[in-house]
């Protein structure tokens, strides 16, 4: 009789504690799977050559975001709204393959600031590589291996 009672108590405890824990664990995994995964932005490209039609490209993106109320002087369009600024910079980064670094995001106040940033070419070569490629005078000798 005592053995049957102990088995019954163990079964009740198992039903109360064991089953409940498994159900909570299943619920937690469902919640974790429902959350969207945040994607890490790609690293900033080191080499960048601005396209020739950059001004027209930027104007089209600004006009698509602002709408038909775009002023004739579109380069002075303010980017005060963070959502507008984010969408513009995200679209340009995806299309051009060149992202604005975090340290310069606060400087992007108008469309002109964005145009100035994307108009600047970025070289991937170091000063030593430039010296190696440059034609040096005959009296100058650089020893690259030391």
pLDDT value of residue 24: 55
pTM for the structure as a whole: 0.58
C-alpha to C-alpha distance for 75 and 70, rounded to whole angstroms = 10
Per the model's pLDDT, the better-predicted residue between 136 and 93 turns out to be: 93
Per the model's pLDDT, the better-predicted residue between 128 and 137 turns out to be: 137
Phi first, then psi: give them for residue 72, nearest 5 degrees: -65, -35
Question: What is the mean pLDDT of the segment spanning 24-35?
Answer: 54
DSSP symbols for 12-56: HHIIIIIHHHHHHHHHHHHHHHHSPPPPPPPPPPS-B---TTHHH
In this structure, what CATH number is given to the domain that contains residue 66?
Answer: 1.10.1200.10
The encoded tokens of residue 33 equal 């799977």
Q: Is the dihedral of CA 110, 112, 118, 122 positive or negative?
A: negative
pLDDT value of residue 11: 67
**Would residue 30 count as lying in a domain?**
no
**Would residue 124 count as lying in a domain?**
no
The residue behind tokens 């109360």 is 16
Per the model's pLDDT, the better-predicted residue between 25 and 140 turns out to be: 140
Whole domain around residue 64: which residue ranges? 53-119
- 38-47, 98-107, 132-141: range with highest mean pLDDT: 98-107
Q: What is the pLDDT of residues 91-129, one digit of tens each?
A: 999 999 899 999 999 999 999 999 999 999 988 777 777
Question: What is the mean pLDDT of the segment spanning 124-140?
Answer: 75
Per the model's pLDDT, the better-predicted residue between 33 and 130 turns out to be: 130
The encoded tokens of residue 30 equal 């469902």
pLDDT value of residue 58: 93
Per the model's pLDDT, the better-predicted residue between 71 and 119 turns out to be: 119
pLDDT value of residue 136: 77
**Would residue 134 count as lying in a domain?**
no
pLDDT value of residue 54: 92
**Would residue 31 count as lying in a domain?**
no
Q: How many domains does the chain have?
A: 1
């Amino acid at each position: 009789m005592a053995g049957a009672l102990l088995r019954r108590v163990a079964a009740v405890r198992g039903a109360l504690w064991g089953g409940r824990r498994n159900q909570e664990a299943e619920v937690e995994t469902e919640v974790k799977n429902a959350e969207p995964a945040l994607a890490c932005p790609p690293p900033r490209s080191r080499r960048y050559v601005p396209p020739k039609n950059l001004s027209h490209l930027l104007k089209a993106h600004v006009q698509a975001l602002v709408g038909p109320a775009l002023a004739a002087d579109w380069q002075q369009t303010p980017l005060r709204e963070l959502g507008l600024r984010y969408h513009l910079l995200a679209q340009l980064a995806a299309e051009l393959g060149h992202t604005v670094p975090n340290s310069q995001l606060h400087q992007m106040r108008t469309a002109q600031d964005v145009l100035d940033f994307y108009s600047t070419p970025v070289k991937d070569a170091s000063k030593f590589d430039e010296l190696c490629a440059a034609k040096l005078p005959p009296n100058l000798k650089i020893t690259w291996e030391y």
